């Protein structure tokens, strides 16, 4: 059975490889962590891609992989509607993937006006721009597992569960879900229009190059690299953890299927890990310690005054059944690749080489 599932996964990946060659893809938020990995993958798949995003951070992955040599780049803000519309329409994309958002829970909590302007109005701006661009066949909006209304009792959420959000990050992402459905029904699949519109809800992604120290895994890795003790909060908090390459493969699969059959595949999709990917913060930290062969102590820090759910998990049976998509990497494999990335980076190996090695490995050596 395991061999058969692996065969199916390779077949799906091969479809993505052949499909994206030459396709025109417009990618917002391409200078962020997931956007940088997606830029590298689209380059590897020989897509004709353009990124639209804020200036990449100095220590970010996009600069380290020389992302501006991999895809076309436009440095601008999704809140600037006129510029966004101009760049989108002049590029004539077939596929639009929307990563651009304020994505850090603490930052969103501290700056709610910026968060809602970027996440909500930025998404509206993108949909309005798409309405003016006749070449677009489908648009995929990237949200999060935190869009679900969570009472702390649900272990696995399905796409039909209620949405909600107590903090600005999850609330703004929930708004993005509602905006997507509104534009789909009111404009993009109304009358003679038939443009694919989907949202993808992923979990916490694991991959090399995430440099934001306020997030759990970069913070832990930073401590391990420097030989310092590890400080965490909410050690018993359970979350879904998945390979960044699995998440991006899921996004590419949704867009590919929407491209040819927009009405059939326009929906909400959970793109999460297998059951092994749902575990506590403490379990993740201990696995990273083990991979680093570290004896660092773990201290529990004072919790920030931000409302967060104690349990979050995604049920991915809909994606498995209707998209024929499944994660290819186990949690242990994703963590191994992450530590391997960090160690090779510490050895001064070019980061672009590391990224492409891991992408090629994921693609089955293609």
pLDDT, tens digit, 9 for 90 and up, residues 247-268: 999 999 999 999 999 999 999 9
For the record, the structure tokens of 140 come out as 């995929």
109/105 Cα distance (integer angstroms)? 6
pTM, two decimals, is 0.92
DSSP 57: P
Containing 35, the helix (H) or strand (E) segment is helix 33-44
Q: Residue 1: is its pLDDT beyond 50? A: no
Residue 318, Cβ density class (10 Å: 0-12 exposed, 13-18 middle, ≥19 buried): middle
Q: Which stretch of 6-10, 219-223, 250-254, 276-280 has the lowest confidence by average pLDDT?
A: 6-10
Beta bridge partners, 199, equal 141, 268
Q: What is the pLDDT of residues 339-356, one digit of tens each?
A: 999 999 999 999 999 999
Residues 6+ apart with CB under 8 A from 66: 352
Residue appearing with tokens 């909500």: 120
Short-list 267, 259, 305, 303, CA closest to 166? 305
Asked whether the beta carbons of 87 and 96 are under 8 A apart, the reply is no
Phi and psi, residue 164, nearest 5°: -175, -175
Containing 229, the helix (H) or strand (E) segment is none
**What is the set of domains in the chain, with CATH numbers?**
2-209+240-278+308-337+347-362 (3.40.50.720)
């Amino acid at each position: 059975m395991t061999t058969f599932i692996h065969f199916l996964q390779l077949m799906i990946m091969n479809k993505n490889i052949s499909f994206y060659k030459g396709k025109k893809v417009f990618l917002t938020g391409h200078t962020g962590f997931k956007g940088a990995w997606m830029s590298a993958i689209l380059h590897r798949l020989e897509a004709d891609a353009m990124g639209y995003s804020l200036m990449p951070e100095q220590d970010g992955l996009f600069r380290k992989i020389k992302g501006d040599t991999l895809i076309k780049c436009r440095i601008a803000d999704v809140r600037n509607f006129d510029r966004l519309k101009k760049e989108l329409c002049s590029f004539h994309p077939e596929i639009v993937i929307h990563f651009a958002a304020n994505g850090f829970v603490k930052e969103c909590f501290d700056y709610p006006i910026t968060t809602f302007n970027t996440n909500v109005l930025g998404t509206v701006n993108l949909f309005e721009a798409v309405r003016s661009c006749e070449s677009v066949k489908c648009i995929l909006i990237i949200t999060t597992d935190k869009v679900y209304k969570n009472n702390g009792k649900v272990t696995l959420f399905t796409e039909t569960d209620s949405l909600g959000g107590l903090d600005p990050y999850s609330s703004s992402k929930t708004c993005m879900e509602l905006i997507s459905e509104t534009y789909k029904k009111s404009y993009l699949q109304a009358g003679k229009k038939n443009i694919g519109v989907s949202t993808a809800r992923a979990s916490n992604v694991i991959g090399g190059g995430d440099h934001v120290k306020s997030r759990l895994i970069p913070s832990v890795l930073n401590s391990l690299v420097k030989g310092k003790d590890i400080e965490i909060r909410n050690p018993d908090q359970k979350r879904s953890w998945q390979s960044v390459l699995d998440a991006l493969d899921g996004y590419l699969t949704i867009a590919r299927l929407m491209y040819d059959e927009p009405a059939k595949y326009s929906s909400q999709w959970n793109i999460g890990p297998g059951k092994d990917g749902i575990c506590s913060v403490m379990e993740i930290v201990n696995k990273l310690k083990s991979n680093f062969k570290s004896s660092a102590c773990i201290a529990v820090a004072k919790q920030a005054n931000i409302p967060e759910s104690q349990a979050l998990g995604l049920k991915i049976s809909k994606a498995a059944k209707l998209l024929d998509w499944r994660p290819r990497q186990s949690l242990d494999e994703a963590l191994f690749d992450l530590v391997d990335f960090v160690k090779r980076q510490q050895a001064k190996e070019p980061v672009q080489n590391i990224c492409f090695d891991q992408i090629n490995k994921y693609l089955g050596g293609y």
